[in-house]
Chain A
Amino acid sequence: MTGWQAIDRFLRTDPRDVGCDEAMAVLHVYVDLVAGEGTDVAGRRYPGVAAHLAACGPCTEDFHGLLEAVTRTGQTE
């Protein structure tokens, strides 16, 4: 990927993106869905959250942290 392609990808916005507040308000639901049924199912059920996580670094960091917390605990097994 060239620099222009990289900056183009960064600058593109997704109208489905729900923003940080709404995404974080349902992150626990989304994470349980990812842990139990997979990323594709979660993304189809909550496309606005998936669009947000694709663009927001801090929320993606929280997503990974919470997913790791629940999978390490083994609660979804």
Chain B
Amino acid sequence: MVPVDPGTALDAESAQWLRVLGADGAEYDEGLARLHRELLRIARNEANRRAARHRIAGPELDDLAHQAAADALLAITRKLGQFRGESRFTTWAYAFVVFEVSAKLGRHFWRDPGVRLDAQEWDRLPDRFGVEPDREADRRAMVDAVREAVDSQLTDRQRQVFVALVVDGVPLDALAVRMDTSRGAIYKVLFDARRKIRAALVANGHLDDDSVEPR
């Protein structure tokens, strides 16, 4: 776990949030409603900021923002006791709604019937790394070298994750949904795959050990 500085005295705004959310009756209800409005505002901004990349707009996007705000509010009220004042209360609370927007957009990805897992679009790999279309020899060499490393060095799960994320361009959060696991678990699989593929490319003379220049 990353060590963090212990929280110092709460700022006035954070203290006010904690007081209201710890109150009873009308004060609590009003505080909760205010927090929900804040979360919905953040959710809408965040959903709009990411919308173009996820092909979602209009009422569907707004519905996603509403769901994210509602789920974040629920999580915040459940975990209020875990807030230790290491940040402002609002920063801590806003993180919940940002994460909810991420997760919901990841699930939305699979609603497009045109996308599929394991499309194996190897010919597009050079485009993803900026190799010019007219450099056919470089493109072919890259595909052959990386594909050989993937096939010979990776476990089945590492291969599946690497191909989906890097070759086919499936968003990591969407892949986590499809594989019924977490973002962190997928990232760790990809982390290990990157290390193994690079070692293979170095061993085969495609990359230098300590330089970014190809041999």
- List residues of A whose CB falls within 8 A of some B CB: 1-13, 17-29, 31-32, 46, 48-49, 55-59, 61-62, 65-66, 68-70, 72-73, 75-76
Could you tell me if B2 and A56 are in contact, using CB atoms closer than 8 angstroms?
Answer: no
Q: Which secondary structure dominates chain B's binding surface?
A: helix
Whole-angstrom distance between the alpha carbons of A24 and B102 in the complex?
12
A62 touches B102 (CB 8 A): yes
In the complex, how many residue pairs between chain A and chain B have their CB atoms under 8 Å apart? 138
15 additional contacts, CB 8 Å, given A62-B102, A70-B90?
Answer: A4-B142, A7-B142, A11-B195, A12-B194, A21-B182, A24-B95, A27-B95, A28-B92, A29-B5, A32-B87, A46-B2, A57-B172, A58-B171, A65-B102, A68-B46
A-B contact pairs, 29 of them (CB 8 A): A2-B130, A3-B130, A3-B139, A4-B213, A6-B129, A8-B198, A11-B194, A11-B201, A12-B194, A17-B191, A19-B184, A20-B182, A20-B183, A21-B184, A26-B2, A28-B86, A28-B87, A28-B91, A28-B94, A29-B5, A32-B91, A56-B187, A58-B171, A58-B173, A61-B50, A65-B102, A68-B49, A70-B91, A75-B88
In the complex, are the beta carbons of A3 and B91 less than 8 A apart? no
Complex contact A11–B187 (CB within 8 A): no
Assess the A25–B1 pair: CB atoms within 8 A. yes
B contact residues around A5 at 8 Å (CB): 212-214
Range, interface on chain B? 35 or more
Least distance between B97 CB and chain A CB atoms (Å) = 8
Cβ < 8 Å to A, chain B residues 107-152: 126, 129-131, 135, 138-139, 142, 146
